Amino acid sequence: MSDISYDVIIAGTGPAGMTAAIYAQRMGLRSVVYGDLPGGSTYMIEHLSNFPGLLPETSGPQFGTLTFQQASQEGATFTMCLLESLRRADDAFLGVDVNGQRVTAPVAIAASGRTPRRLEVENVQIGGVHLCSICDGPLYRGKDAILAVVGGGNAAAQHALTLSHIAKHVYIICRSENPGIDAAHRRKLAEKLNVTVMLDSEVVALKGQSMIEALVVKQSGLGSKEIQVEGVFQAIGWDPNTAFLDVTVDKTAEGYLKTDGRLMTSVSGLFAAGDVRDTDIWQVLTACADGARAAKSAGDYLAGQ
């Protein structure tokens, strides 16, 4: 069976990948997009309140669905499966998905995003330990649950705000004394009487048999204390998804793809967009901008510009 040929292979169905598909198709480039979840990690966002032009109540899943529909209407091919590997084959890129299907294209865009990290403590696989408050928060509705969010950035703040409507009380456990939470989220947290922020604190153990029962938290200068909880949500950082890249490409020490001003990596014809690349801001808005620029640059590259 011969390989299927496209103009551009796009790895990722998040905001960057789907925007790249929209722009590529409108430029006349035939694109194939790999990913199993329209919208990528936007499913974890309750409200996209900082995206210009969207209604305040627009959720991440809604945004993902609408963008997927738009890219599909432009003619992009969505495989709805993950890309197993992407490598150079002669003058083209060869993509092989998890089902063994092979495609080729002269250019490729890595828009594969990031994966949330898990706590490095024993019992982390115990029941009641979650990554997504929108997905799993409703499990605690009507139970007067005490929940915890581990992390110190905007993602942790958003988890806590989502859970504050469900739980009796929510703890945010942050290792830093100065968490990276922006002013807008700080104001919202301050209005929540059932949210407590614990600074200079670190989760050192999870207690429970089949389900989480308590966290052991070590506080700077205060020793350790045990907090009874019914659930814990992790928001402790991310790792870029680059394992599928079977090419030698320049990365940062953290594993993010380095790009030039056109968003091309050190591999000729391979572009990167969104959360997988080296950037100073990880937002849906900037991921979309990256996707548009990467598609434009890919088109220019194919045209010899």
**What one-letter code names the amino acid at 222?**
L
Domains: count for the chain: 2
Do 98 and 192 lie in one domain? The reply is no
d(CA 212, CA 125): 10
What are 81-111's pLDDT values in tens digits?
A: 999 999 998 889 999 999 999 999 999 999 9
Residue 53 pLDDT: 92
Predicted confidence (pLDDT) at residue 239 exceeds the cutoff of 60: yes
pTM here is: 0.88
Q: How far apart are the first and last CA of the chain?
A: 34
Q: What is the pLDDT of residues 58-78, one digit of tens each?
A: 999 999 999 999 999 999 999
Q: Does any domain span residue 124?
A: no
State the Cα–Cα distance between residues 114 and 128, nearest whole angstrom. 23
Three-state DSSP state, 117: coil
pLDDT-derived band at 132, boundaries 50, 70, 90: very high
Last residue of a domain, one of 234, 266, 292: 234
pLDDT, residue 21, reads 98
User: Final residue of a domain: which of 184, 207, 234?
Assistant: 234
* Coil/strand/helix, residue 278: coil
209: containing domain: 129-234
The CA distance from 32 to 13, in Å, is 11
218 inside domain: yes
Query: Looking at the predicted structure, is the pLDDT value of residue 262 above 60?
Result: yes
pLDDT for the residue numbered 3? 84
Q: Which residue has the tokens 């499966």?
A: 81
- Between 124 and 105, name the one with better pLDDT: 105
Res 123: pLDDT: 85
Of residues 158, 171, 152, the one with CA closest to residue 227: 171
Residue 222's pLDDT is what? 84
Q: How far apart are CA 277 and CA 254, in angstroms?
A: 10
C-alpha triplet 268, 22, 60: angle, nearest 5°: 110
- Which element (helix H / strand E) includes 222? none
Q: Is 122 inside any structural domain?
A: no
The first and second tokens of residue 104, run together, are: 């080729």
CB 97 within 8 A of CB 84: yes
Q: Domain boundary residue among 234, 254, 273?
A: 234
* pLDDT number for residue 259: 98
For residues 112 and 244, membership in a common domain is answered with yes
Helix segments in 74-149, DSSP class H: 133-136
pLDDT at 2: 66
Give the domain CATH number at 207: 3.50.50.60
291, 23 Cβ separation under 8 angstroms? yes
